[in-house]
Amino acid sequence: MKTITIIGGGLGGLTAGALLAQAGHRVTLLEQHTMVGGCATTFKRKGGFRCEVGLHKMDGVYTNPTIQKIFNELGVYDAVEFVSSEHFYTLTTKTRSYTLPYGIDAAREYLTEIFPHETRGLDRYFALISRIGHQIDTLTNASWYHYALFPFLFSHTLRYARATVTDVLESLFEDPELILVLNANVQYYNDTPDTLSFLLHAKAQSSYYEGKGWFVKGGSSRLSNYLASVITDHGGTVLTGADVTAATPASVTYTHKHSPHTIPTDCIVSNLSPQDTYRLFDHPYREEKTISDGLVTIYLGFRKNLREVYGERSYANFFMDELYTLDEYRANVKSGVLQRSFGFTDYAQIDADLTKDPDKSFAVTCTTDYLDEWADLDPEAYRQKKADLIARTLERLERHYPGISDLVEYAEAGTVKTQQRYLRTPRGTAYGYKPTPSNVLRIPRSHSREIDTLYFVGQWVISGGFSPAIMSGEICAREIASRGLPA
Ligand SMILES: Cc1cc2nc3c(=O)[nH]c(=O)nc-3n(C[C@H](O)[C@H](O)[C@H](O)COP(=O)(O)OP(=O)(O)OC[C@H]3O[C@@H](n4cnc5c(N)ncnc54)[C@H](O)[C@@H]3O)c2cc1C
């Protein structure tokens, strides 16, 4: 048994910690916030609202082989309840609404009926994302056999390795609106399809179509807290309010309740970005990869249950009301946060269990956010801009949910600056490196090339998102097991 210290209790750190503690190591997880989870948390607000921070839909819960393995090993399926929605998502553009069903065949048939002139492209698109999705699953668990046969086994992945979503969709389709329809939900990963890796789009979309998107009933803190309990149940320690300030290859220093502590360790697992981690070690490091853009969320508590007021609607909605083409989309993204198209996740549509009172409900809006839009504002201007954003967004929601503003009991905006404060990620990102083709195409690796006792987990290893962050924990545990630990 060795001592392992984990810096940061996001999903990556918690998963690695749970797997390593279960494997018999003495794990100490240090989290600077008052609760574990990072983005995977919920916070409470007056009126009985449990506000979800970073989960609309998780992919791969019952279909991704690595997620299934982790969840089975850790007993997650027995401890946490996952709920899903009936449809994948609804997108509303300038011309009409589209409600995409789950299932590759169902979605292809649905879109072929609306875009009969694009039948050939749709057939190719859905076959392609499915094939790439499966190839990437295999690649995540690749063995020497797979690497030896790489060009044959991963032909599609290789062929599209340098392609962006725009490259591929524009080569497959004539209809400008179809491109918006197929990529609507993936704007969380990247502000524009022009720089988004087609491989990432294909992997995420095929996983959602084939395996659905899932929410943790009661909020994502339930998953995070459960993973923390696996660590403590196996003799480990989970310390919140523990701010790591320095590290050496054999020790970690943190502040807890205003007192500094230094603990010896055989191995360090960091849930922080490489640049923040190496700074703790005082080790020279220059980040060459671009960091993902941020997200801004408006948390909305309603005095009524939206499903009862507006009836059965989609859980995941994307409003691009004034848009029809990719050019219009590009201009909209750059037009400022008050004008940007946005997503609306209506938790009343599923058994989310986010309100004490079942007659109330909770929802969020979410869109791309750039730190520069908020960075130079003084506190009053910042507060005012957030208030303007809430007012403007409710005005825009009125078009789809008449009278919704009158139902609001609680509203609060969390900008990328808010996320930077709570998560301490570079530029407040929740999605690691910008998922451009060159950043996405790499074999995920946890072990540091610079410091032998150091491993990475979280949004920096594969990509951002619940399932990639969780899978990074498994990669870390596997690499530690295969390398052994220094005696
Ligand atoms: C608004 C929003 C919506 C999202 N929606 C979805 C979605 O629908 N589906 C999906 O799959 N993903 C979604 N995501 C992304 C997903 O939540 C994240 O990519 C993922 O949870 C990141 O996990 P992580 O392991 O990188 O840890 P992080 O969440 O980055 O957590 C890192 C932890 O390290 C701690 N820390 C930092 N510095 C220190 C220090 N010095 N000492 C101790 N602790 C420290 C932080 O406090 C934090 O708890 C969303 C994110 C956001 C913000």
- 23-27, 148-152, 185-189, 469-473, range with the lowest pLDDT: 148-152
Q: CB-based contacts of 119: which residues, under 8 Å, 6+ apart?
A: 112
pLDDT at 487: 44
Do 263 and 279 belong to one domain? yes
| 222 found inside a domain | yes
386-390's contacts with Cβ under 8 Å and 24+ in sequence apart are: 386/413, 386/415, 388/338, 389/296, 389/298, 389/337, 389/338, 389/413, 390/298
In 3D space, the residue among 480, 53, 113 whose CA is nearest the CA of residue 269 turns out to be 480
Domain extent, residue 424, equals 293-429
Please report the pLDDT score of residue 145 as a whole number.
53
Nearest CA to ligand 1 atom 4: 54
Nearest to 453 by CA among 421, 480, 477: 480
CATH code of the domain covering residue 243: 3.50.50.60
Residue the block writes with tokens 């959602």: 208
Ligand 1 centroid – CA 213 distance (Å): 18
Q: Which of 410, 429, 448 is the last residue of a domain?
A: 429
pTM of the complete model beyond 0.85: yes
Q: Judging by DSSP bridges, how do beta strands 97-101 and 26-31 pair with one another?
A: unpaired
Which neighbouring-strand residues pair with 256?
242, 259
pLDDT tens track for 455-481: 999 999 999 999 999 999 999 999 999
H or E stretch at 17: helix 11-22
Which string of DSSP letters, residue by residue, matches 61-126? TTT-HHHHHHHHHHTHHHH--EEE-SEEEEEE-SS-EEEEESSHHHHHHHHHHH-GGGHHHHHHHH
Tell me the pLDDT of the chain averaged across its residues.
95
- Choose one of 429, 451, 475: the last residue of a domain: 429
Band of the pLDDT at 148, cuts 50, 70, 90? low
Give the pLDDT band of residue 240 (cuts 50, 70, 90): very high
Q: Give every strand in the sheet of 267-270, ordered side by side.
A: 237-240, 26-31, 3-7, 267-270, 454-456
The answer to the question of residue 96 being in a domain is: no
Out of 151, 185, 209, a domain closes at: 209
Same domain, yes or no: 411 and 453: no
pLDDT at 443: 83
* Inside any domain, residue 97: no
Quick one: pLDDT at residue 141? 65
Q: Which atom of ligand 1 is nearest to the CA of 30?
A: 43
Non-local (6+) Cβ contacts of 199 within 8 A are 132, 136, 157, 160, 161, 163, 437, 440, 441
Ligand 1 centre to CA of 77 (Å) is 21
Domain membership flag for residue 264: yes
Pocket of ligand 1 (CB under 6 A): 7-12, 30-33, 38-40, 54-58, 188, 243-244, 271-272, 295, 297, 366, 419, 423-425, 430-431, 458-459, 464-466, 469
For residues 468 and 39, give the distance between their C-alpha atoms in angstroms, rounded to a whole number. 13
> Looking at ligand 1, which residue's alpha carbon is closest to its atom 50?
54
**53, 55, 347, 463: residue to mutate for ligand 1 pocket, most atoms within 8 A of CB:** 55
Give the residue-averaged pLDDT of 306-322: 96
pLDDT score of 109 more than 60? yes
Q: Is-contact 257 241, C-beta < 8 A?
A: yes
For ligand 1, pick from 42, 205, 240, 466 the residue to mutate: most ligand atoms within 8 Å of CB.
466
Cα-to-centroid distance, 428 and ligand 1 (Å): 10
C-beta separation of 53 from 220 below 8 A = yes
State both tokens at 136: 């990437």
Of all protein residues, whose CA lies closest to atom 16 belonging to ligand 1?
465
pLDDT at 193: 95
Per mean pLDDT, which range of 52-66, 86-100, 414-428, 431-445 is the poorest? 431-445
Q: What is the CATH number of the domain that holds 366?
A: 3.90.660
Does 87 reside within a domain? no
Query: How far, in Å, are 23, 149, 236, 459, 476 from residue 479 at the CA level?
Result: 13, 22, 20, 17, 5
**Is the residue at 418 inside a domain?**
yes
The alpha carbon of 248 and the centre of ligand 1 are apart by a number of angstroms equal to 24
Residues 349 and 273 in one domain: no
Calculate how far, in angstroms, residue 53's C-alpha sits from the geometric centre of ligand 1: 9
What's the Rg (C-alpha) of the chain?
22
Number of domains, the chain: 3
Only one residue has tokens 């309840």, namely 81
485, pLDDT greater than 70: no
Contact in structure between 324 and 93 (CB atoms under 8 Å): yes
Q: Whose CA is nearest to atom 24 of ligand 1?
A: 458
What does the pLDDT look like over 24-51, one tens digit per residue?
999 999 999 999 999 999 999 999 999 9
- 322 and 415 in one domain? yes
Q: How far apart are CA 272 and CA 12, in angstroms?
A: 10
In a domain, 88, yes or no: no
Report how far ligand 1's centroid is from the alpha carbon of 227 (Å).
15
> Is there a single domain that holds both residue 341 and residue 445?
no
Does 322 fall in a domain? yes
* CA 14 to ligand 1: nearest atom: 25
Cα separation, 193 vs 205, in Å, equals 13
Are residues 306 and 408 both part of a single domain? yes
Q: Do 221 and 74 belong together in one domain? A: yes
Q: How confident is the model at residue 404 (pLDDT cuts 50, 70, 90)?
A: very high
| Amino acid at the residue 42 | T
CA of 159 to the centre of ligand 1 (A): 32
The ligand 1 atom nearest the CA atom of 457: 25
% the chain with pLDDT above 70: 96
Shortest-distance atom of ligand 1 to CA 245? 41
What are the pLDDT digits (tens) for 119-143?
A: 999 999 999 999 999 888 877 666 5
Residue 187 banded pLDDT, cuts 50, 70, 90: confident
